[in-house]
């Protein structure tokens, strides 16, 4: 169902207007000279989960540069959002270098957003998620994540209606948590339109999640979740370290460094490792052990700059 949908959207951009900014962003990201929207980030739940796992590793061990750890952990929630504020890839890198080189230091929330941009960018490159948060790949990876987290429970048969209500419940509770939404006072009418598009897009995304959970397309599942490498792999060493970090275990730096110096047997683990290496590289730069040129060069090798 999903593949033809995207083709339809591309040929008829007016049909599902909420998708067009997402696709525009994906195109912008593909052309490196074009300005970025949302910092060129497009990640869905799987990308955010991997980014959160990176932060859990940072919090659960002393394997990272202290400045990197302090800034990311203190500004974590804001930084996930602010990572989307960069207009151009050079901006976050310039902020990190400004912090490393002394002189006019960026504010902590700016450095946090720059470091978190590296994390998300690394993760998204690892997941090859540039097609956008509503692409087949992103939706199948998100469902892959839900099933991985559910473990053996994922085999339980659940009615599609109950699942959709479950997903809707998550969103209703978020509306309680968010209390009320702050409008865009510079452009209230345009903002209402964008908000409504987003909200309608959410309803369609939840319906797609439900349909993929209960009735996945076998070919798409093979391509995006059980591919080579698979998204997740049982007994993968990196994943078991991540699970411990996610549960709040304190991890010896040696265990984390060993994981980072090795390879993961699955795409999710590889994505996390790529982001970790980018953070290590930023840490060396911030700690005065690597100059700007070396930092940029290391990011290039990770395909992040």
Partner 1 sequence: MALLLPAVHQNIKQALRKHWSVGMLGSVTRMGDQHTIKVLSPLRESFAKQAPDPRAERLLAFTMGWRCHNAADRQWKPMYRYLQPEHYRPKQPGVSAVTIYHDVAVFKEVYDHGRRAPLTPTTLQFGPNLPATDAVLPAVALQGLVGLTWQRTLLMLQSFVAKGLPVPARFDKADNRFEPLVVDEAPFAEAYHRPDPDRIRKYIVAANFYDREEAMLVLLEKLRKGGSASASEVNRVRREPKCQYAQAVNRGLGYMEACSEYLVGRIDEATLTERCDLKRPHKPPEVEAFLDKYEKTNTSRAGGHE
- Are the CB atoms for 57 and 241 separated by under 8 Å? yes
Q: Which of 15, 196, 207, 234 binds partner 1 (CB under 8 A)?
A: 196
Choosing from 9, 95, 233, 275, the residue that interacts with partner 1 (CB under 8 A) is 95
Cα–Cα distance, 19 to 299 (Å, whole number) = 30
User: Looking at 173, 250, 254, 289, which residue binds partner 1 (CB under 8 A)?
Assistant: 173
207 vs 201: CA distance, rounded Å: 10
Minimum distance from residue 138 beta carbon to partner 1 (Å): 11
Which one of residues 179, 219, 248, 293 is an interface residue with partner 1 (CB under 8 A)? 179
Our CB check for partner 1 shows the closer of 197 and 258 to be 197
Residue 78 found at the interface with partner 1 (CB under 8 A): yes
On whether the CB atoms of residues 163 and 214 are closer than 8 A, the answer is: yes
Determine which residue in the list 74, 128, 187, 249 makes contact with partner 1, applying CB under 8 A. 187
Q: Between residues 114 and 260, which has the closer beta carbon with respect to partner 1?
A: 114
Cβ-proximal residues to 34 (8 Å cutoff; 6+ apart), any chain: 27, 28
The answer to whether residue 59 forms part of the interface with partner 1 (CB under 8 A) is no
What is the smallest separation between the CB atom of 214 and partner 1, expressed in angstroms?
10
User: Would you state the structure tokens that stand for residue 253, as one six-digit string?
Assistant: 């730096």
**Residue matched to tokens 């952990």:** 73
Find the binder of partner 1 among 175, 254, 262, 288 (CB under 8 A). 175
Write the interaction track for partner 1 spanning residues 108-147; mark x where CB under 8 A is met and - where it is not.
Answer: -xx--x-------------------x------------x-
Q: Is the dihedral of CA 248, 274, 140, 7 positive or negative?
A: positive
Q: Does 188 bind partner 1 (CB under 8 A)?
A: yes
Q: Are 96 and 114 in contact (CB under 8 A)?
A: yes
Q: Does position 207 bind partner 1 by CB under 8 A?
A: no
193 binds partner 1 (CB under 8 A): yes
# of chain residues touching partner 1 (CB under 8 A)? 69
Instruction: Give the residue from 125, 115, 107 showing the smallest Cα distance to 47.
Output: 125
Residue with tokens 């995207």: 6
When binding is defined by CB under 8 A, the residue of 3, 10, 30, 198 that contacts partner 1 is: 198
CA-CA distance, 168 to 124, in Å (whole number)?
A: 26
Question: How does DSSP classify residue 304?
Answer: -
CA nearest neighbour of 127 among 146, 140, 114:
140
Half-sphere exposure of 214 (CA within 13 A, CB side): 13
- Cis omega (within 30 of 0) for bond into 6: no
* Residue 103 engages partner 1 in binding (rule: CB under 8 A): no
Q: Based on CB atoms, which residue is closest to partner 1, 181 or 219? A: 181
Q: Which two tokens stand for residue 78?
A: 């804001």
37 near partner 1 (CB under 8 A): yes
Residues of the shown chain interacting with partner 1 in the complex, contacts defined by CB under 8 A: 37-38, 41, 44-45, 48-49, 52, 77-78, 80-85, 87, 91, 95, 106-107, 109-110, 113, 133, 146, 149-150, 153-154, 156, 158, 162-163, 165-196, 198-199, 213
């Amino acid at each position: 169902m999903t593949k033809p949908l995207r083709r339809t959207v591309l040929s008829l951009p007016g049909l599902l207007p909420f998708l067009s900014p997402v696709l525009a962003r994906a195109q912008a990201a593909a052309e490196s000279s074009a300005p970025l929207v949302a910092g060129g980030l497009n990640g869905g739940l799987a990308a955010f989960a991997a980014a959160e796992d990176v932060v859990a590793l940072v919090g659960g061990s002393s394997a990272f540069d202290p400045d990197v750890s302090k800034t990311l952990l203190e500004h974590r929630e804001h930084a996930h959002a602010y990572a989307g504020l960069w207009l151009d890839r050079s901006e976050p890198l310039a902020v990190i270098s400004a912090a490393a080189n002394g002189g006019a230091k960026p504010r902590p929330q700016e450095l946090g957003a720059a470091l978190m941009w590296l994390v998300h960018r690394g993760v998204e490159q690892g997941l090859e998620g540039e097609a956008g948060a509503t692409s087949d790949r992103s939706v199948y990876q998100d469902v892959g994540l839900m099933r991985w987290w559910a473990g053996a429970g994922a085999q339980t048969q659940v009615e599609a209606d109950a699942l959709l209500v479950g997903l809707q419940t998550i969103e209703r509770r978020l509306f309680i948590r968010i209390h009320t939404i702050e409008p865009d006072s510079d452009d209230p009418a345009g903002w209402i339109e964008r908000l409504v598009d987003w909200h309608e897009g959410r309803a369609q995304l939840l319906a797609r999640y439900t349909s993929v959970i209960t009735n996945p397309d076998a070919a798409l599942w093979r391509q995006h979740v059980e591919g080579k490498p698979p998204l997740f792999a049982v007994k993968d060493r990196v994943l078991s370290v991540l699970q411990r970090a996610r549960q709040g275990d304190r991890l010896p730096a040696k265990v984390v460094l060993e994981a980072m110096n090795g390879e993961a047997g699955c795409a999710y683990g590889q994505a996390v490792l790529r982001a970790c290496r980018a953070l290590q590289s930023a840490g060396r730069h911030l700690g005065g052990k690597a100059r700007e040129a070396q930092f940029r060069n290391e990011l290039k090798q990770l395909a992040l700059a």
